[in-house]
Chain A
């Protein structure tokens, strides 16, 4: 999930009898699956929650370019280089869609980006882990994009129209990248030498748990989920989505011939699901607070890009004004 922990600012969910007429009409619309559009009335907390969630999502696409940018100059073949460049280009595009969707709620892109750069706004914790070998490019595609898709497929039905439509477009491109990522790993496992196979297992060992953390805290520690679910911003709980991801990913892991770095993982025939070990939640909260392995570098890189580029953007504005004046004259 690209937006893991979104505050709703709501302590207790109101029932219909406690709501004003406006609020009740809104909730009834949600309950009958009618999409909310930009010009419709919406509770302020709904608006603010969506701004937080969509901006987190957008920031994740942008910060998510950096771990891959780390390897785009070192991709080992022309085909892999082209794939990675196409993927990074798509991610920038996803960021643009999402900032646009966010702006329909009255938020300002530059203001939200400034929050990212000051450390106030979050992005997905996964991008705070370093990419240390080429197999990470495969594992990021397969596991990280895979986890994102499980979440985003559900978000196609989210109650806010512009967000839901952005998700439909993004999911199409994302699933393509996920298959490519898996194919990178499959090639290394089936046709690679021992060093390459070791890279694949190493990448999985490092990225497995952080990928599971992408779905956010467990349901019992997810105080904002109930309101998000009532508003149908969220459609399924963190733990449900995490379980779905594990269930669909383990057979793929087996097909690779790799192992899962979780000694407690085993099929539970009774439940019809995989049981799995406890996530290191202290690590999750530390990374989210800014104390992960790459948090400082990621934010510093983005801040520097925008600061160093200020003169370019100013020049573009100045030139547009000159041209406009010339045309008007």
Chain B
């Protein structure tokens, strides 16, 4: 058993979530509602995949078993992936895409702000850079939730329909497991309860100005991405993303 098991697990969670969210954004390429959005989606996706690479590189160093960041990204099966269930959900329409992005960004910024104070210097460094990027992501997605929620009758209805599609997955944003509790006790990661409270406050604020109802907290529903128990969407996403490295395992790209 590696001493760093908790930390490796946590780095995979951070890296995988950023990578899968980035991959979902890639699927919008050429199909966004406006040119400015093409630019923004690729910009946000680029930031996230860049962050994923930083987290996975650190995880690979700690694993020290010959695998590098690419190996972790492109050769692990869905049962070994640790991303949030929220980010693996399909893009749906623009309301679903932006609501997902907002709920993730609001959580992500809190987590990264906490991590930028981490007792682990490497984590603090990566997080400090990522905070700048995610501050922008959250501003953008929050503004879009407001625009769509408080836009036309149709956009309002679409946002109302998007909420039940993704809300239940937020259960993962507001809790910690034993791994995370130990890391928190060691001053490496922020306290989950504080993150949850700040996340909820941001959601309440933006939903209010978007004239959207805040649903009750979701209940546990048996899936658990921290244990690699995903929805059926992840396997297909990985099949596409990993196809080349899987087909040519000895290749250098």
Contact = CB atoms under 8 A, between A and B. Distances in A.
A192 B146 CA distance: 49
3 closest Cβ pairs, A-B complex: A309-B33, A315-B151, A69-B29
Contact of B35 (A69, A78, A92, A196): A92
B29 A76 contact: no
Interface residues of B, number: 50
A140 interface: no
Given A73-B241, A312-B148, 8 more contacts: A73-B23, A73-B240, A76-B245, A85-B42, A96-B35, A313-B33, A314-B154, A315-B154
B214 interface: no
Interface in A67-123: 68-69, 72-82, 85-86, 88-89, 92-93, 95-96, 99
Interface stretch (A23-31, A147-155, A158-166, A300-308): A300-308
A85 B49 CA distance: 9
B1 to A, nearest CB: 28
A187 B56 CA distance: 23
A82 B50 contact: yes
Contacts of A316: 147, 151
Q: Interface of chain A, helix or strand or loop or mixed? A: helix
Interface in B204-253: 240-241, 243-245, 248, 250-253
28 contacts: A65-B30, A69-B26, A69-B29, A69-B30, A69-B31, A77-B74, A78-B53, A82-B50, A85-B46, A88-B29, A93-B39, A99-B35, A184-B253, A188-B253, A192-B251, A301-B31, A305-B33, A308-B31, A311-B152, A312-B34, A312-B37, A312-B94, A313-B34, A314-B151, A315-B152, A318-B155, A319-B150, A319-B151
A66 interface: yes
Contacts of B252: 187, 191-192
